Chains A and B, each alone.
Chain A
Amino acid sequence: MSAEVRESAQGFVRESAQRKPARTQQRRPGNPLRDNADRRLPRIPPPCALVVFGITGDLAQKKLLPAVYDLANRGLLPTNFVLLGFARRDWGDGEFIELAHKAAKEHARTPWREDVWKRLAASCKFVPGAFDDDDAFDTLAETLLDLEESHGVAGNAAFYLSIPPDSFPIVLKQMQRTGMSDNIDDSITGYWRRVVVEKPFGHDLLSSRELNELVDSVFTAQDVFRIDHYLGKETVQNLLALRFANTLFEPVWNSHHVDSVQITMAEDVGIGSRANFYDATGTARDVVQNHILQLLALTAMEEPVEYTPDAIRTEKLKVLRAISLPDDLSRYAIRGQYTQGWLAGQRVPGYVQEDKVPDDSKTETYVALRLGVQTRRWAGVPFYLRAGKRLPRRVTEIALTFRRAPHVPFTASDTESLGQNQLVVRVQPDEGVTLKFGSKVPGTVMEVRDVAMDFLYGTAFTEASPEAYERLLLDVLIGDATLFPRHKEVEASWAVIDPLEEFWAGQQPAHYRAGEWGPVEADQMLASDGRIWRRP
């Protein structure tokens, strides 16, 4: 029980009397207009520039540019803000603004307002150049310096690396050479320089360590923001609220009551145009190492001592380090690859028939795993993870299955259709929480059947919730690292994946037809534990 909760037990009056001074103390020093009790005022970043490398890329156009517009439209960008694009295109500001206009208008979440766009466009700049072009980076550094004067951005800049990971070193070295990344101590320089890195953070422990060392040496460790967009999702943040703001769930959130945990991340799409990347990566590296292990960490972590980036990341790291692999990998670490099949009424090709995928590819498009978490809370509870492409529907969820009651007074036939109680956190779609429990079927006999109690953010009510990228971008500019994994977390995750990749190397993945819930081996894996996969 937290101190605050204990206080409140002693009476509301006392609690509110104690809370108030804390609020006023936390007021941002120097600005009398900021008050923590004033919860209407949004968080707005200081004057700054957002520099995007690879602005012409898919992600930048579908997510980043629309997110910038949405932030501007919601009045969440500072008055002095510049968006600076860098890419290998022979472009001026005009062409860039045209591209950004199109991308933002097509993908923006909030209504389109031309006047908002016009103001934003006035602070859009473009610098053309290749990553190995010294002159281009000199121009970029100069442009950034000029913007301090002309747009009053006060030297603050966030660099978004929306580029393939193999270009990271050269771009980082260029930034170091031109002094753009200089940010030893922002209390001395008076401005901040941050870098935003997208997954994949390396392809194994060694490479991720190298990458982390490089990024951390060019910038400083606390100025590196690794985007895992899953953590920007409303439901994932709600997981912390669900667990730590309530009294109801904490007592049963352990191996005494939880029988097993299933984390599912299913996609109905194939690999699309990412064949080159995907064939070299595979599902384990693509989503298990980051998204799924982060979901596992949030599910299994202990209560952080406070809601601060450091406290939360410390707890997550402890879980990631406590993850254990099963001894029998051939049974509990299943890889799959989809073959030709039918999905949602359409015939879809198999993985090796996809464009640019070699015919003898052994890359997996499906992973099912059993992990353990070696802590007092979780010892003995299996965590079943699965992720895959071309599964029947797109769904991500965390399901806690509870143990059966040790004794039920009803006869076996009464409770035949009673399953185990479940708590399901639906991450996407239909964001919400479901509690499954047994209930009497109306009638003259005692018959118990499973029913579901649903909390649904629902399509109708989520209209107002921001896109993950919007939230995360804002956090970067404000400097709030709560939702960004630290390099130690990344390395701990790779330490889980590396032995698996080593075991799988050279093996042929099991096959499953597109449109099925994975290969039969994955079902056998749960069957041998006396369990079955939940149909999400």
Chain B
Amino acid sequence: MSTLWDTTGTEVVKALGAARRNGAAVTSGLALTFVVVAEERHVEMAEAAATTAAAMHPCRLVMVVRRENTAPTPRLDAEVSVGGRLGPGEAVQLRMYGRLALHAESVVLPLLAPDVPVVTWWPGKAPDRLGTDGLGVLAERRVTDCAVHDNALDALRTRASDYAPGDTDLAWTRITSWRSMLAAAVDSAGDPGRASVTVTGGRVYGRPDSASAALLAGWLSSRLYTSVKVVESDPKAPEKGGLPDPGGVSGARLDLAGADPIYIHHREGAGVVTRSGRPDSSAALTERDIGELLGEELRRLDADESYCAALAAATNSRGLSRRPGTRSLIWEDPAAAPDKRGEDVTVAGKVQGSRR
């Protein structure tokens, strides 16, 4: 591991090259470059998660921490390691200060592994328009997380209005095991030897403010061609969902044509399937940490059509799948438009103004 203080992008590229040559032979077979755009307070969590994900997918990890964009002088600190603290692969951690933070891609571009996809992940709040962040523009896949916002549903709507193929959200990843369970429940709903059942509709139980619950309902709506709503779960009544899981989903109901509905609810890390006339059954609803969720994200590097359909249905948006898959940079200078931006940016504007 080498640490570079007050350095330049060229020095970082050189240091990475040296580390590759001297390091163990773990660097072969890179599948992607994984860019993490973290705030200082998320760094620890993001490091742990990215390390887990990097262990599943050979990648070059580039972590960008923007700090004090009010600082008068731009400055870059870097830490380069191969097979070290940040997982088995190559890792670069960059801390950017001052005006440089607005041009982070200028440092990151030469650090991207040649001709492999780039995935960018925002562990904290992602910008409303991903195109305003140069680190999102250079990526084929952009991973956000609505659950970190105070109002997750608003965040979900923002994601829909800004959606481009290649976007995905961890709120969606969190419900893969739910979706798998619902699909399996429908698989086994028919009586042996008879034709399979027809699902006419359903309901999702969960926290009404949960983006995951909204996406699960959106997914069901998009698959069943009917509107599926999220209903607040009642912790005391298992048939109404019981206790929500960390993602905010506590259960679902699937209505069948000419048969009793299937109830699935969350109980102590498992999904329990209830249906009148049949014994209860259950299977694990694996609770995964962020690292494992990212591991799932990095498996596929093309646009997720199912997410697109679920997002559209959950937010009542149209035409998401027809949007262009590439983004172009929307230049937004916090200094130039202080009135449109949040508080800390206004401060930045002042500083910048005084510098001019």
Contacts and interface: CB of A to CB of B under 8 A. Distances in A.
Interface string A149-171: 11110110000000000000000
B290 to A, nearest CB: 16
Given A33-B199, A35-B223, A77 B306 contact: no
B281 A152 contact: yes
Contacts of B188: 46-47, 78-80, 152, 154
Contacts of B57: 461
Contacts of A151: 279, 281
A347 interface: no
A32 interface: yes
A456 B25 contact: yes
A458 interface: yes
A34 to B, nearest CB: 5
Contacts of B284: 72-75, 113, 115-116, 119
B305 A37 contact: yes
A30 interface: yes
B247 interface: no
A11 interface: no
Contacts of B306: 35, 37-38, 40
Interface stretch (B113-121, B124-132, B266-274, B339-347): B266-274
A212 B150 CA distance: 64
A460 interface: yes
A28 B195 CA distance: 12
B283 A75 contact: yes
B263 to A, nearest CB: 12
Contacts of A453: 28
A464 interface: yes
A149 B282 contact: no
A44 to B, nearest CB: 4
Contacts of B46: none
- Which 5 interchain pairs have the tightest Cβ spacing? A190-B193, A30-B196, A460-B88, A190-B192, A79-B281
A307 B162 CA distance: 38
B21 to A, nearest CB: 13
A155 B190 CA distance: 13
A77 B306 CA distance: 23
B329 interface: no
Given A33-B179, A115-B268, A464-B56, A79 B283 contact: yes
Main secondary structure of the interface of B (DSSP, over half): mixed
A420 B269 CA distance: 56
Contacts of A461: 29, 55-58, 88
B25 A33 contact: no
A6 interface: no
Contact of B196 (A29, A73, A78, A189): A29
Contacts, number: 153
A155 B299 CA distance: 35
B22 interface: no
Nearest to A147: B279
Contact of A30 (B173, B197, B281, B295): B197
A interface, size bucket = 35 or more
A188 B193 contact: yes
Contacts of A155: 192
B186 interface: yes
Q: Which of B181, B182, B192 has the most CB of A within 10 A?
A: B192
A41 interface: yes
Interface in B140-189: 173, 176-177, 179-188
Contacts of B355: none
B25 A464 contact: no
B80 interface: no
A41 B58 contact: no
A42 interface: yes
A455 interface: yes
A190 B57 CA distance: 41
B285 interface: yes
Nearest to A48: B188
A376 interface: no
Nearest to A461: B58
A157 to B, nearest CB: 12
Given A78-B184, A461-B58, A41 B179 contact: yes
Contacts of B173: 40
A79 B58 contact: no
